[in-house]
C-alpha cells in the first residue's frame, strides 16, 4: 500500500515551528547568562565608577529584579518595608484610615430641622421615613389603632389586605340593579311607601373584618348600610342565638385566602341561615375548580357567574398589620389572580344580572374616588363568564 503523505509544519531549514521557539529561548537564556556574568565581573572591579554601580544596584532592586539575583551579584537586597525609592510602605492600618475617610465623604448630608429652641439640628436616620412605610399608607377612615394583636380571634398577617375601591366599583352597577329589583319587590309585598332612608338601600354584610375600609368604600359608591364588625363570624354563624346574626340583603366579602376560610364560607352560603340570599365573593380564580365549591353548587342547584377583571386587582395591607416584604409585588398584593363569584339568589335574578351586564346602562366609574363623572361600559374593564368552560375560553382568548 502507498504511504499517506503527512503534512508537516517544517520550514526551509527543516525545523518545525516548536523547534524554532525552543531555539530562540535557548539563545535568550545564553544571552542573559552572559550579561549576568559581565555584571558580576563589573561589580567586583573597583575601577568602575560608583555612579555606574549604583545604577546597577537600583535596577536589580526594581520589581523586575529579585533578591536572589541581587545576592548572586553581591548587591544588597531590597529592605523589606521599603520601596525602591526609599519611602516606607504603608501598613494595613493606614489603608483602613484612608478607606474610612473616603467612606465618611460618601455619607449624605443629613437634613436639618428646627429644634425646640428654634435652632437647626440634624435629623437622625431613625426619624426619616422608610420605603415600606411610604407604601403602606393607612387609608382614610381606617382604624389607626387596629393591629394583629387586637383581634379577638386568631389571624394570619398575610391575610390582612383590604380590597381596592376599583374592585367594588366593578360590581356597583350589578348591586344597583339588584337593589332596584329587591326594593321593588319589598314595597309590593308590604304595600308601604315609607320614606325612611334605610328602606332606600340594600343592606350588605361583610363577615370578614380587616380595618373597616370596606364600609367607606361601599358608602362612596352609594351603599351606606354595611355590616362589617371586628367579631368572629364563625361563632356568629354557629351560635343558637339568632339575634346575633345580622340582618342583610346581600353578602359581599373578600375572605382570607389562608387555611380553610374559603371552604367554611362556601358551606355557610348554602346553610339555612343564608335563606338563599345573593352573594358577591372576591376570591382567587382557582376556587371554581375546588371540590368543596363544585359539590356545594351542584348540591344546591346554584349556577353562579364570574366577573374577571382585565387588569389585576392590587391589595394594600394596612400599616403595621404585617411585616415588610422584600418583594414589591407580594408586599402590597395577593400572589393569586382574583375575580368576582356572583349568585343572584335564584335563577331568575341571576339571569337579570347577567343580561344587565350587556346593556348600555351598565357603566362603571373610570377613577372611583377621584373623578365621579367619567364612566365607561362594564364590558370594557371586566369579562363575564357563565361557567367553568366560559372561564377556560377567556383564558385561551387572552393567551392568543
Give the DSSP letter of residue 152.
S
Cell readout for 26 is 535557548
- Quick check: 259 pLDDT over 50? yes
Assign 332 to helix, strand or coil. helix
Cα separation values, 271 from 245, 299, 395, Å: 13, 12, 32
Reported as a pLDDT band with limits 50, 70 and 90, residue 400 is low
Could you tell me which residues are beta bridge partners of residue 10?
Answer: none
- Quick check: 159 pLDDT over 70? no
- Quick check: 55 pLDDT over 60? no
The mean of the pLDDT values for the chain is 74
pLDDT for 130 equals 42
Reported as a pLDDT band with limits 50, 70 and 90, residue 382 is very high
pLDDT for 29 equals 81
pLDDT for 210 equals 83
Rounded (10°) angle between helices 347-357 and 165-190: 130
Strands (E), 106-147: 112-114, 120-122
As a whole number, mean pLDDT of residues 375-394 equals 94
Cβ–Cβ under 8 Å, residues 391 and 285: yes
pLDDT tens digit string along 209-234?
888 889 999 999 999 999 999 899 99
Query: How would DSSP label each residue in 168-228?
Result: HHHHHHHHHHHHHHHHHHHHHHHT-----GGGGS--EE----SSSHHHHHHHHTT---EE-
Reported as a pLDDT band with limits 50, 70 and 90, residue 204 is very high
Reported as a pLDDT band with limits 50, 70 and 90, residue 90 is low
Per mean pLDDT, which range of 100-109, 161-170, 260-269, 336-345 is the poorest? 100-109
Cα separation values, 377 from 339, 362, 381, Å: 18, 6, 8
As a whole number, mean pLDDT of residues 108-126 equals 45
Amino acid at each position: 500500500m502507498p504511504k499517506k503523505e503527512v503534512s508537516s509544519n517544517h520550514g526551509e531549514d527543516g525545523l518545525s515551528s516548536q523547534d524554532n521557539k525552543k531555539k530562540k529561548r535557548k539563545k535568550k537564556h545564553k544571552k542573559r547568562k552572559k550579561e549576568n556574568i559581565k555584571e558580576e565581573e563589573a561589580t567586583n572591579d573597583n575601577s568602575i565608577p560608583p555612579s555606574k554601580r549604583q545604577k546597577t544596584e537600583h535596577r536589580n532592586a526594581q520589581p523586575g529584579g529579585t533578591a536572589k539575583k541581587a545576592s548572586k551579584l553581591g548587591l544588597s537586597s531590597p529592605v523589606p518595608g521599603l520601596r525602591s525609592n526609599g519611602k516606607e510602605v504603608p501598613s494595613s492600618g493606614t489603608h483602613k484610615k484612608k478607606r474610612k475617610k473616603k467612606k465618611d465623604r460618601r455619607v449624605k448630608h443629613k437634613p436639618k430641622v428646627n429644634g425646640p429652641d428654634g435652632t437647626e439640628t440634624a435629623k437622625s436616620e431613625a426619624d426619616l421615613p422608610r420605603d415600606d412605610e411610604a407604601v403602606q399608607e393607612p387609608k382614610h377612615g381606617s382604624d389607626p389603632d387596629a393591629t394583629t394583636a387586637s383581634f379577638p380571634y386568631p389571624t394570619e398577617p398575610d391575610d390582612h389586605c383590604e380590597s381596592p375601591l376599583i374592585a367594588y366599583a366593578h360590581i356597583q352597577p350589578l348591586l344597583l340593579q339588584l337593589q332596584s329589583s329587591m326594593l321593588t319587590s319589598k314595597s309590593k309585598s308590604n304595600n308601604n311607601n315609607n320614606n325612611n332612608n334605610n328602606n332606600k338601600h340594600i343592606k350588605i354584610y361583610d363577615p370578614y373584618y380587616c380595618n373597616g375600609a370596606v364600609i367607606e368604600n361601599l358608602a362612596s359608591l352609594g351603599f351606606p348600610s354595611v355590616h362589617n364588625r371586628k367579631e368572629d363570624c364563625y361563632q356568629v354563624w354557629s351560635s343558637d342565638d339568632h339575634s346575633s346574626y345580622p340582618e342583610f340583603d346581600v353578602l359581599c366579602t373578600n375572605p382570607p385566602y389562608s387555611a380553610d376560610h374559603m371552604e367554611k364560607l362556601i358551606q355557610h352560603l348554602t346553610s339555612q341561615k343564608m335563606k338563599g340570599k345573593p352573594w358577591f365573593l372576591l376570591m382567587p380564580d382557582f376556587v371554581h375548580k375546588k371540590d368543596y365549591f363544585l359539590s356545594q353548587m351542584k348540591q344546591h342547584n346554584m349556577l353562579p357567574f364570574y366577573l374577571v377583571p382585565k387588569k389585576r386587582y392590587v391589595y394594600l395591607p394596612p400599616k403595621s398589620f404585617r411585616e415588610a416584604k422584600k418583594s414589591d409585588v407580594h408586599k402590597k398584593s395577593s400572589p393569586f389572580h382574583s375575580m368576582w363569584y356572583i349568585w343572584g339568589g335564584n335563577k331568575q335574578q341571576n339571569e337579570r344580572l347577567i343580561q344587565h351586564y350587556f346593556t348600555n346602562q351598565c357603566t362603571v366609574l373610570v377613577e372611583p374616588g377621584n373623578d365621579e363623572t367619567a364612566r365607561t361600559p362594564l364590558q370594557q374593564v371586566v369579562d363575564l363568564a357563565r361557567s367553568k368552560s366560559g372561564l377556560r375560553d377567556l383564558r385561551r382568548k387572552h393567551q392568543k
